[in-house]
Amino acid sequence: MLTDKKLKDFNRYLKMENIEFNDFYKVPNIKFDISKLKSDLEKILTKRKFNTLGIKNFGAISLNQIPDDKESTEGHNVRGTYWTLPDESGNEVIRDKPIDENKYTQLVSDFQNTYFEEVYKTLKKKFKLGRVRILLKEPRSTLSWHRDPEPRLHVPIITNLGCRMVIENIAKHMPADGTATITNNTKYHNFFNGGEQDRVHLVACVLEDPFKK
């Protein structure tokens, strides 16, 4: 049992190490059918390939677009602005191009009449969304240490216990059980797949920051 002094010391340690346990928000009252998502993902992959942008171990497929603008799902529109710490200097730099997330309001035609359309409509009723993408992280790989302009909502579709989202000093596994989790990507974070199979998440940009409330 923690005494008052030990509890205060522990809380002081958490504050000193900048450890936050509320940067992963599990969305209540949402439960999607993972078997349907996996099945329709296989169908989508017969029509579309992951856009890699030449980035090793990364891939993305856009679920929505700027109305009638196919180019909004191509090239660097798939990735967008982020900030990173690339070297030992510790100086932050900005990468890629800014995206007007508010314009992404139209479902890409390949996803019409699939279970992804139902998921998209359900999420749009609950949240103000920007781009929604299917993101691939290949086995035994990691993202850069970076921060994004907004939080992200994750619905894991294919994952393994070696997959972890790391936000500053906290690492968590998000299971593919139909639930949705909003992560505080405005803080420095990365994602690593330490397993031996692909990791695939549906990931949406959330434009109303729940972590500022």
Q: What is the pLDDT of residues 160-206, one digit of tens each?
A: 999 999 999 999 999 999 999 999 999 999 999 999 999 999 999 99
For residue 60, being part of any structural domain is answered with yes
Q: Could you report the per-residue pLDDT of 15-63, keeping only the tens digit for each?
A: 555 545 589 999 999 999 999 999 999 999 999 999 888 888 999 999 9
Residue 16: predicted pLDDT: 52
Instruction: Inform me whether the pLDDT recorded for 13 exceeds 70.
Output: no
The pTM (predicted TM-score) of the whole model is: 0.89
pLDDT band at 8 (very low <50, low <70, confident <90, very high): low
Among candidate residues 91, 92, 66, the one with its CA nearest the CA of residue 78: 66
For residue 190, being part of any structural domain is answered with yes
Residue 206 makes CB contacts below 8 A (sequence gap 6+) with: 127, 128, 129, 130, 150, 151, 152, 153, 182
**What residues form DSSP beta bridges with 95?**
82
For residue 75, being part of any structural domain is answered with yes
Domain extent at residue 38: 23-212
For residue 6, being part of any structural domain is answered with no
Cα(124)–Cα(206) distance, rounded to whole angstroms?
10
For residue 41, being part of any structural domain is answered with yes
For residue 143, being part of any structural domain is answered with yes
